[in-house]
Structures are given as C-alpha cells and as structure tokens.
Amino acid sequence: MTPSSYPDTREIARLTARMLLEIGAVNFRPEDPFILASGLPSPTYIDCRKLISYPRIRATLMDFMAVTVMREAGFEAFDNIAGGETAGIPFAALVAERLGLPMTYVRKKPKGYGRNARIEGDMAEGERVLLVEDLTTDGGSKLSFVDAIRDTGATCGHTAVIFYYGIFPETEKTLGDHGVQLHALCTWWDVLAEAKAQGVFSTAALAEVEAFLNDPRGWQDAKKDA
C-alpha cells in the first residue's frame, strides 16, 4: 500500500538513525579504524544490509523512502524502480511494492554469458527510473548504475538511499553534474545526534567521530601518517 502521511523530514531522519542504532548497524571504532573500500581509514562503519532481517524496522523505513521520493520528486514521477546489485535489490523491491510499480535490478557488470545483460527484468525505452540503493558515500558508485539504465533508452534522474554519509561536499555535485538528484533518509550527523541523545557510545568515541565528520580527509590523512 502506498504511504500517504508520515513525519516531516527531520523526524524521519531521527527515527531512521534510531533504528540503525537499535539493530547495531552503526559502528564507532576510532581506536581501531575500519578500512573502507577506498583503502582509507574511518572511525565509522554502517551496515544497512542488516535491515532486511528486521521486519518492523524494514517496513517503516521503506514507507519513509516511498513518501520521501513522492514528496521530493513527485507522486507520478517514476515508471520503474531499479535496485543496484546487490544491497539495493531488496530495498528496490520493497519500494516498488509500495508505489505499485515494476521492479528491475542493475548488475555491477555484465554477467558474461547468456544475454550478457546488466539490467534484469523489463525496462523500456522512455521509462522514468528511480535507482534505489542502501547508502552512498561520495556518489561515484551510483554513476555506473545510472549509465546502464540510460543505455536502455530509459531515463534516470533520481536515486534514493537509506543512508547518506553527508560529509563529503563533492557528493551532490558529482551526482548533480550527472543529472541525478539524491534522496536520503538520514546522514552521519543524524546518527551522531541520536547516539549522543541515547548515550550509546563513550564520550571519547563520540568526540573522535565528530572530529572525523567535521574534517574526514584531514582525519584520514592524520591516521595514515600516524
């Protein structure tokens, strides 16, 4: 069923952060930093994939995502919902169900046999496609998915995520230069605020994470040189 009435943007962000904290999807470890896919250190790590195992939280967040894209992009803005392989696939399916739209998914690369396709499911020329993913950091990984969608003759001017890092200023420019608008439920700043409110992590950990969020590149450079 399509959601029609939900909290305002700030309350959606707070509740999303609370849910991520509640299921242990948020990790703060400044004393032993995580290594990101980029090879750079980070005192934070988030695992949105855990959400699929929590039905009440999963359902609420997908309602939030559906109402967010309708509010920000339009109520009749899309013809097809596409998930990015692999984390975006379950969330795309759930959003498509709520919006009553077809669902497809986009492979990271052609599968190498059969049709050698990157798009699975039916996507037609001229369709307006919403790309759904679990999260975005700097936005770069979304561009390959968007290009694969556009190669079919469909259009893709929007991507929706549960979690947006919100600390790298180039992200929205990277997407915007590619003609893509980002829709997100919450950021690291929302998670930090809720973590402080709940007292989930130590004061020292929260302070170190806040230092990272204020200057991520500087924090990473300092850790590399340490």
**Residue spans per domain, the chain:** 9-225
DSSP 165: -
pLDDT score recorded for residue 222: 87
Q: Can you tell me the distance from the alpha carbon of 186 to that of 14, in angstroms, rounded to the nearest whole number?
A: 7
pLDDT score recorded for residue 105: 97
Each residue's pLDDT, cut to its tens digit, for the chain (226 residues) gives 677 678 999 999 999 999 999 999 999 999 999 987 777 889 999 999 999 999 999 999 999 999 999 999 999 999 999 999 999 999 999 999 999 999 999 999 887 665 668 999 999 999 999 999 999 988 888 999 999 999 999 999 999 999 999 998 889 899 999 999 999 999 999 999 999 999 999 999 999 999 999 999 899 888 876 6
Cα atoms in the 13 Å half-sphere on the side-chain side of 159: 31
DSSP 173: H
Sign of CA dihedral 34, 39, 42, 48: negative
pLDDT score recorded for residue 186: 98
Q: Can you tell me the distance from the alpha carbon of 178 to that of 34, in angstroms, rounded to the nearest whole number?
A: 30
pLDDT score recorded for residue 116: 65
Which class is domain 9-225? alpha beta
Q: Can you tell me the distance from the alpha carbon of 159 to that of 21, in angstroms, rounded to the nearest whole number?
A: 24
Phi, psi of 105 (to 5 degrees): -140, 160
pLDDT score recorded for residue 169: 85
Query: Using omega within 30 degrees of 0 as the cis cutoff, is the peptide bond preceding 86 cis?
Result: yes
- Among the listed residues 161, 158, 140, the one whose alpha carbon sits nearest the alpha carbon of residue 150: 158
Contact 169, 3 (CB under 8 A): no
The amino acid sitting at 119 is I
Neighbours of 181 (CB within 10 A): 14
Q: Can you tell me the distance from the alpha carbon of 202 to that of 131, in angstroms, rounded to the nearest whole number?
A: 37
